[in-house]
Chains A and B, each alone.
Chain A
Amino acid sequence: MFNQSSLGTFGSTSTPSTANPMKDFEVVQPPDDSVSSLAFSPSTLPQNFLIAGSWDNNVRCWEIEQNGTSVPKSMQSCGGPVLDVAWSDDGTKVFMAGCDKQAKMWDLASNQVVQVAMHDAPIKTCHWIKAPNYSCLMTGSWDKTLKFWDTRSPTPMMSINLPERCYCADVDFPMAVVGTAGKQIIVYQLEGKPQEYKKLDSPLKYQHRCVAIFRDKKKSPTGYALGSVEGRVAIQYVNPANPKDNFTFKCHRSNGTPNGYQDIYAVNDIAFHPVHGTLATVGADGSFSFWDKDARTKLKPSELMEQPISRCAFNHNGQIFAYAVSYDWSKGHEFYNTQKKNYIFLRPCYDELKPRTSS
């Protein structure tokens, strides 16, 4: 449906085994270019819908059925490469933002798209905020602003200046975290209205690349995991009871020193399991790993894919782990091969992400 002419005949059966070393379900009719963003529909919808934004300017939507098959549903285009996508809390809308400096709202029911946000530079992140007293779209841009948009007004409800370009962000009401260039981290609290809560020194020595908020045992957001280009993730509590609660760990590095030195890859994305509170990281090395941050152990490593894993996502009840195998530019344009197919794989993950028990 998306691509009848070019790759339409490329079914999951013809996928070479080297491309799918974990033998997971392959999403049919994947994007034509790298996957920049992935998101599952919220729990307000009975089915699972997966949306993916791509460097081919399009956002695609599939329905993921219980048996692992994916059914292409629809597609929308943006005026440039898409950098982030998000769902509204009720699952009726999809937001997409990207290099055309705009964010758009896609009403799935009517299939209408309207522009809802505008920046002076490409928009790197978009997140839907559902507060008791307001709802808005938060966009973070390379124009060093964070803006909040009522979707019916051409002007932002609020604009917050960032110290640097926005590189990554996450929202879990009432917390928002933004990681910027220059290794800065700003935590916002969203209750009442968004406002800066804390500006923090980075626990990492290298460029921030991804951030994900985690919750405590009572399911309230309490901290975040921050990934850098230097194969390292920092687990940070906003208000740590004990300074030792914060720690970093290494990941996505080559084993041993094959060329005389160890290759260290960027952490491209982090996602927390919605039920277990464990996390997944994906990296430019082409692997994903599951971790238990409380036991400080790795639960499962994956085999290496043929290409980097650019993004990942859990569905709302934590049964499905989706990861996108596509080039992330980590080796520059020289290593960009348009002939390589982009994949999105789906993995039943509920048991693999169970925390390590003491028994």
Chain B
Amino acid sequence: MGRKKKKLSKPWCWYCNREFEDEKILIQHQKAKHFKCHICHKKLYTGPGLSIHCMQVHKETIDKVPNSLPNRSNIDIEIYGMEGIPPNDLREHERQKQGSRPANDSGSDEDEPATKRPKPEGLLGNAPGAMPGVPGMVPGMMPPPGMPPGMSMGPMMQMGPMGPHFMHPGMPMMPPHMQQMMSGQSGPPKPLFPSAVPTSSPNGPTPPVVGADFKPISSATISAPPTTNTPGPSSDSSKVPTIATTGAASKIIHPPEDISLEEIRARNPKYSRNLPSKSDDNSSSSSSVTAAEQLAIATSVAQHQVAAAAAAVAVAQHHKQQQDAMNHHNAAVAAAMMHHHHQQQQQHQRGFPVRMGGPPLGMMAAQMRPHQMLPGPPQLIGGPLMRPPPIGMPPGMIGVPPGMVYGAPMFPAGPVLMQPRFR
């Protein structure tokens, strides 16, 4: 190895001009890249060696060193690592390196990754480099001790004044002191997302940070500036975007249209057929009911009455549940009374509670077949919400857990929240 120029240049491969850290690696490279027999993959040691091997073993002539540069493909020159390189080429290479080294350490126009590209360390994912720091190890984090998120804070349970607070914006009902109370009640510093503490505390009780005025946090100082990335109102129905497949080597299994699978599916007549009319959101108000719908409603009401009759028979057999039948009857009558102002709606209601009222389970299959569905379910939302009187055991669930008995408080803070009613 006498001619290795340690002082300046790294070992390099005469055939492809690649530089290496070490002559050993250069030799490995040459054996793998340039001296390997393409037929039996035996690795030879020199170009003439490869030539002779191919001639003798495979009866083939090799006239060029594989994977070599055009002017360096001479098979007859015996080169092994850095040995055997013609002196002219050696000087030339030296000169080029001298010239380009200050500017570019790794050789300019030659592809020569001196070291292999770093592999991504994670097995998963394409994020470069290290494992993530332990998530959540952000200084200053203070979750409420021992309390899973979503649980109500003890003293905050009965918060009367909080009711109005959560309210349609613009309701001028909140005296200023209430806000203070609000922030005061928030108790210990309880950040929005606890791990976000150091950077932002939007709603926290510490006025200096943002203030208790619910200013959107994006206007506060956050580490990463809020990115409002609106690429314009995409899909304005004029031009339907499509899902472009990534490349020739892959194919995304998705319909070409770039809308969700559910939207595509919902357009299918099988699913859109029974939906309420698309005219407006008020489709079930009686004024917009078309004649066709009336017919459909009448039909389904008739169906439901049949079903109800069947239900009644079955219910009678289960005498234990007679009470429930009564219950449903009451509910139905009550519902009908409440909507007496409009006959059609009344009809609606008469059929409705039978369906909703929870007949014995055995009957459900008979009643609940999808094709018997009302085309447009009646809208109860306008009137007071109906509930049957709490008599006996609920029919719906057989193994009702203790906590699920009818009449359990619906909202822990219900009575208080009930007061403000926004319209």
Q: In the complex, which residues of chain A have a beta carbon less than 8 angstroms from the beta carbon of B400?
A: 108-109
The CA-CA distance from A198 to B227 in the complex, in Å, is: 8
Cβ contact within 8 Å between B192 and A191: yes
Cβ contact within 8 Å between A110 and B388: yes
Q: In the complex, which residues of chain B have a beta carbon less than 8 angstroms from the beta carbon of A182?
A: 231, 234-235
A91-129 near B? 1/0 per residue, CB < 8 Å: 111000001111000011111111110111010100000
Q: In the complex, which residues of chain A have a beta carbon less than 8 angstroms from the beta carbon of B326?
A: none
The CA-CA distance from A310 to B93 in the complex, in Å, is: 62
Please tell me which one of the listed residues A2, A195, A284 contacts residue B253 in the complex, with CB atoms under 8 A apart: A284
B83 to chain A, nearest CB (A): 43
Q: In the complex, which residues of chain A have a beta carbon less than 8 angstroms from the beta carbon of B373?
A: 57, 77, 79
Cβ contact within 8 Å between A58 and B370: yes
Cβ contact within 8 Å between A153 and B422: yes
The CA-CA distance from A175 to B192 in the complex, in Å, is: 8
Does B153 lie at the interface of the complex (its beta carbon under 8 Å from any beta carbon of A)? yes
Q: In the complex, which residues of chain A have a beta carbon less than 8 angstroms from the beta carbon of B123?
A: 296-298
**Range of interface residues on B (Cβ < 8 Å):** 35 or more
Q: In the complex, which residues of chain A have a beta carbon less than 8 angstroms from the beta carbon of B418?
A: 152
Q: In the complex, which residues of chain B have a beta carbon less than 8 angstroms from the beta carbon of A242?
A: 132-133
The CA-CA distance from A218 to B134 in the complex, in Å, is: 12
CB within 8 Å of A: which B113-157 residues: 122-138, 141, 143, 148-150, 152-153, 156-157
**Range of interface residues on A (Cβ < 8 Å):** 35 or more
CB within 8 Å of A: which B403-421 residues: 403-408, 410-411, 413, 417-418, 421
The CA-CA distance from A352 to B381 in the complex, in Å, is: 46
The CA-CA distance from A174 to B190 in the complex, in Å, is: 11
Does A348 lie at the interface of the complex (its beta carbon under 8 Å from any beta carbon of B)? no
Cβ contact within 8 Å between A158 and B169: yes
Cβ contact within 8 Å between B218 and A32: no
Cβ contact within 8 Å between B235 and A92: no
Which residue of B has the minimal Cβ distance to A331?
B253
Please tell me which one of the listed residues A44, A114, A118, A189 contacts residue B386 in the complex, with CB atoms under 8 A apart: A114
Cβ contact within 8 Å between B135 and A237: yes
Chain B facing A: main interface SS:
loop
The CA-CA distance from A209 to B243 in the complex, in Å, is: 13
CB within 8 Å of A: which B37-69 residues: none
Does A74 lie at the interface of the complex (its beta carbon under 8 Å from any beta carbon of B)? yes
Chain A facing B: main interface SS:
loop
Cβ contact within 8 Å between A80 and B274: yes
Cβ contact within 8 Å between B131 and A296: yes
Q: Which of A9-17, A18-26, A259-267, A317-325 contacts B (4 or more CB under 8 A)?
A: A259-267
Please tell me which one of the listed residues B124, B152, B153, B156 contacts residue A296 in the complex, with CB atoms under 8 A apart: B124
Cβ contact within 8 Å between A90 and B403: yes
Which residue of A has the minimal Cβ distance to B376?
A79
Instruction: Name the residue among A4, A71, A108 with the largest chain B CB count within 10 angstroms.
Output: A108
Does B395 lie at the interface of the complex (its beta carbon under 8 Å from any beta carbon of A)? yes
CB within 8 Å of A: which B348-376 residues: 355-358, 361-362, 364-365, 368, 370, 373-376
Interface contacts beyond A45-B401, A89-B150, A229-B252: sample of 8 additional A-B pairs, CB < 8 Å, sorted by A: A45-B403, A167-B260, A181-B235, A182-B234, A189-B203, A219-B149, A220-B195, A295-B131
Binding site for B on A (CB under 8 A): 1-5, 32, 36, 44-47, 55-58, 61, 63, 71, 73-81, 83, 89-93, 99-102, 107-116, 118-120, 122, 124, 130-135, 142, 150-155, 157-158, 163-165, 167, 172-175, 181-182, 184, 189, 191-193, 195-202, 206-207, 209, 215-223, 229-231, 235, 237-239, 241-242, 244-250, 253, 257, 259, 261-266, 284-285, 291, 293-298, 328-333
19 contacts between A and B (CB under 8 A): A58-B370, A99-B271, A111-B358, A114-B380, A130-B150, A130-B152, A135-B417, A174-B193, A192-B165, A193-B165, A198-B222, A207-B259, A209-B260, A229-B252, A237-B195, A241-B137, A294-B131, A296-B125, A298-B124
What 6 A-B pairs are tightest by C-beta distance, nearest first? A111-B358, A216-B136, A111-B396, A247-B127, A296-B124, A133-B162
